[in-house]
Amino acid sequence: MFQHLQREMATAGYDRTVEQICNKLKKVKKDYWDQKRDLGRTSGSGRPKTSPHYNLLDSVLGDRPTNGFGSTVNSLSLESIVLDETKNARSSSDAVKSHTTESGWSSGFKRRVRSVAQKRKADSDSTKEFLSAMTECHRQWLEMEQEQRREEWEREAQLRREEMQQELALRREEAEREETLRREEMEARSKDSELLTSCLMQIAKIISKDPAAL
Nearest residue to 67 (alpha-carbon basis) of 75, 59, 57, 79: 75
Residue 192 identity: D
Structural contact between residues 77 and 29, judged by C-beta atoms closer than 8 angstroms: no
Residue 171 identity: R
pLDDT tens digit string along 17-59? 878 777 777 777 787 788 778 776 665 555 556 666 666 666 6
According to the model, what pLDDT value does residue 95 have? 47
Cβ-based neighbours of 26, under 8 Å, separated by 6 or more: none
Task: In the chain, count H helices and then E strands.
Answer: 5, 0
Cα 203 to Cα 197: distance, rounded to the nearest angstrom: 10
Percent over 70 (pLDDT), the chain: 48
pLDDT tens digit string along 52-107? 666 666 666 665 544 443 444 444 454 554 555 455 545 544 544 444 444 555 55
Residue 53 identity: H
Instruction: Name which residue leads in pLDDT, 92 or 111.
Output: 111
Cα 54 to Cα 34: distance, rounded to the nearest angstrom: 11
| 113: pLDDT strictly greater than 60 | no
Nearest residue to 53 (alpha-carbon basis) of 20, 22, 87, 23: 87
Structural contact between residues 83 and 70, judged by C-beta atoms closer than 8 angstroms: no
Secondary structure of the chain: what % helix, strand, coil (to 5)? Answer: 90, 0, 10
Cβ-based neighbours of 87, under 8 Å, separated by 6 or more: 12
According to the model, what pLDDT value does residue 36 have? 79
* 3-class state of residue 43 by DSSP: coil
Residue 184, Cβ density class (10 Å: 0-12 exposed, 13-18 middle, ≥19 buried): exposed
51: left (phi over 0), alpha (psi -120 to 50) or beta: beta
Domain segments of the chain as ranges: 2-93, 115-214
The maximal CA–CA distance of the chain, rounded, in angstroms, is 190
Instruction: Name which residue leads in pLDDT, 145 or 15.
Output: 145
| 168: pLDDT strictly greater than 80 | yes
Q: Which range has the top average pLDDT, 1-15, 17-31, 95-109, 192-206?
A: 192-206
